[in-house]
Structure formats: C-alpha cells, structure tokens
A and B are shown apart, each in its own frame.
Chain A
Amino acid sequence: MTPMRDERDAEMEVTLVELLDRLLDKGVVLCGDITLSVAEVDLVHVGLRVLLSSVEAAQRQQRRAAELSQ
C-alpha cells in the first residue's frame, strides 16, 4: 500500500467517523422513539466507539421517554 493510499484511506475513515458522530450523536432530538437495530451492526471498526456510546445514549433516551409516557 502506498503512502498516498494510506493517506486517502485515513481521510475516508475520518470522514466516516465525522458522519457517525453527527448522525448518531447530533441533530434535533424530537423525542419520538429512537429506533435502532444493533443486532446486525457491521460498521467498520473506526466507528465502533462512537457507535456504542451513541447507542447507549439512545437507549437511555428511550428509557426516559418510556418513564415519562407512563
């Protein structure tokens, strides 16, 4: 693998991390249900840490929504 290829791959990884960071952890939370299926997660490894923290946040939010709607 050439250094240039390494650099391009690294940039693609960073861009994917940037996408994950935004879609799973930012944006307007309208407080509907956050419906995520994590059983078939096949995201590339670079996003896993972001993904896990965001899924945990979504699950916390779902629990709070359930409590408030009772």
Chain B
Amino acid sequence: MIYVYALTDPAGAVPPDVRGLEHQPLGNIVVGDVSATFTAHAEIAVAPVAQNLWRHEQVVESFMRNPGLALLPVRFGTTFPDEAHLEDVLRRNQGVLKAGLDRVRGCVELGLRVSRTSAEAAALPQADFSTGREYMAARLAEHRLRCDADQLAAELESALMPLAREMATREARAPQVVLSSAFLVNHDRAEEFAATVRTLAAAHPSLRLLCTGPWPAYHFAPSLQLAEALHG
C-alpha cells in the first residue's frame, strides 16, 4: 500500500532528509508532467492526530524550499493499493493536474482569519429569550452585526486582493468570525501581504486579524470528478 503526500513538477526531487509517516523513506513516481511523492507501507490506517498531521504537512512543505517548483498538496489520508493504481489515476487526470500545477506555480497560500475581540464578541446576542419581542430584537441585532461583518470583510478583501492572485472564502462558522479566507499570493509578495494585514489590524482595533502561512496551496487544488478519476 502507498500513502500519497503531494504532486509537483517532475523536477521536484524528493528531499533526502525528510521521512514520511511511520518514518518511511519517500519515493516518487513521474507520469508525464506530474510527479507524485509517496511512502510505501505494509498496511496503513492513518489516525488524524496531531503527530501524523504535522508529519504529512512536513513532507508537503519540504518542497516549498524550492519556490520555483509547482506544488499541490494531496488530501490527508490518501492511499492506493500500489504504484500502478496511482500511476493510472495520474495518467487519466494528466490535463487537470498539469493545469492545477500551472495555477499555483510561484505562489503560496496565506490564511486570514478575522474575528471580533473578546469585548465585541461578548456583546453578541445571547441564545436565551423569555419573550418573542426579545427573540426578534436579538435576531435584528444579529442581522445588523452580520451586515457590519459583511461590510468589514469587503473592506479587508479590497485592501488585500491587489496583492493576491486569487482568494477563496470559507463559510464563517461562528458569529464572532468576520472573515475566514485563503489567498493565493506570489511567493515574493507574501511579506508585503503580511505587512498589509498588520496595517489593517492597527486600523481596526475592534478586530483580531490572524494571518497564517505560508501554506501549500490547499484551497486552490483542482477538484477531480470521482467517476472521471477512477474510470477516465
């Protein structure tokens, strides 16, 4: 069984000083314009625990030492029975994968999570109501907060988008979250992007802006149709 970590340009040599899950040495297989990095295992069922997640990430990020190399991270937990099965999928999806590598070449992903500060979050409507009037007032307050959040998010995005090639916005999971986005940024503009986030943070003291990365371009990886990937 093989466990797959990343896809790169064929020039992406496997880093010799990095080991994969279960400390296995990395191998790679090249099909056309795509190289896949993997480790071989007798049997593997990967627990999504911090140690394994960081090991997977370490392997993927080891390719970021070469900023000119196009890199697509593979979903955690992806396995194939053997190299032949992986080779088949790479061959059948060559066009999509090559286009995916071209899309992210020279770029890194930067995450931005914007939330209200603790004091602001404490002012959010509470969930317990004794009357219908209180309920409606809370819903109205929530709606106004959401409108405010949308306006703030648009303002932040317009300041950052000139520095990015693409943006992917994630659905906010909690009311205190104003914005949760991933930006595809040219490698040489990453520091400028982070500096702009710091400037925005200073201009919005009621918000907490957290910029993470540089990450491999997880949010900008191509989507393969399952049926096409399996059967061509």
Residues of A within 8 A of B (CB): 11, 14-16, 18-24, 26-44, 49, 51, 54-55, 58, 61, 64-65, 68-69
Which of B3, B53, B113, B227 has the most chain A CB atoms closer than 10 A to its own CB? B53
Pair A36/B74 contact, Cβ less than 8 Å = no
Pair A65/B230 contact, Cβ less than 8 Å = yes
Give the contacting residue for A30; candidates B46, B113, B224; CB below 8 A. Answer: B224
A16-B50 in contact given A26-B218, A36-B45, A68-B231 (Cβ < 8 Å): yes
B156 to chain A, nearest CB (A): 17
B8 to chain A, nearest CB (A): 11
User: Count of B residues near A, CB < 8 Å?
Assistant: 49
Q: Does B167 have its Cβ within 8 Å of any Cβ on chain A?
A: no
User: Which residues of B76-133 have CB atoms within 8 Å of chain A's CB atoms?
Assistant: 76-80, 85-86, 89-90, 93, 97, 100, 111, 113
CB-CB < 8 A to A58: which residues of B? 77
Pair A27/B210 contact, Cβ less than 8 Å = no
CB-CB < 8 A to A68: which residues of B? 226-227, 230-231
Give the contacting residue for A34; candidates B72, B78, B111; CB below 8 A. Answer: B78
Pair B47/A40 contact, Cβ less than 8 Å = yes
A64 to chain B, nearest CB (A): 6
Pair A38/B47 contact, Cβ less than 8 Å = yes
A30-B212 in contact given A36-B48, A37-B45, A51-B48 (Cβ < 8 Å): no
Pair A40/B7 contact, Cβ less than 8 Å = no
Give the contacting residue for B46; candidates A16, A36, A65; CB below 8 A. Answer: A36
A32-B47 in contact given A15-B212, A26-B219, A27-B74 (Cβ < 8 Å): no
5 residue pairs bridging A and B, Cβ less than 8 Å apart: A11-B210, A19-B53, A34-B79, A42-B49, A69-B230
Q: How far is the CA of A66 from the CA of B219 in the complex (A)?
A: 26
CB-CB < 8 A to A21: which residues of B? 170
Q: How far is the CA of A18 from the CA of B214 in the complex (A)?
A: 12
Q: How far is the CA of A36 from the CA of B47 in the complex (A)?
A: 5
CB-CB < 8 A to A41: which residues of B? 47-49
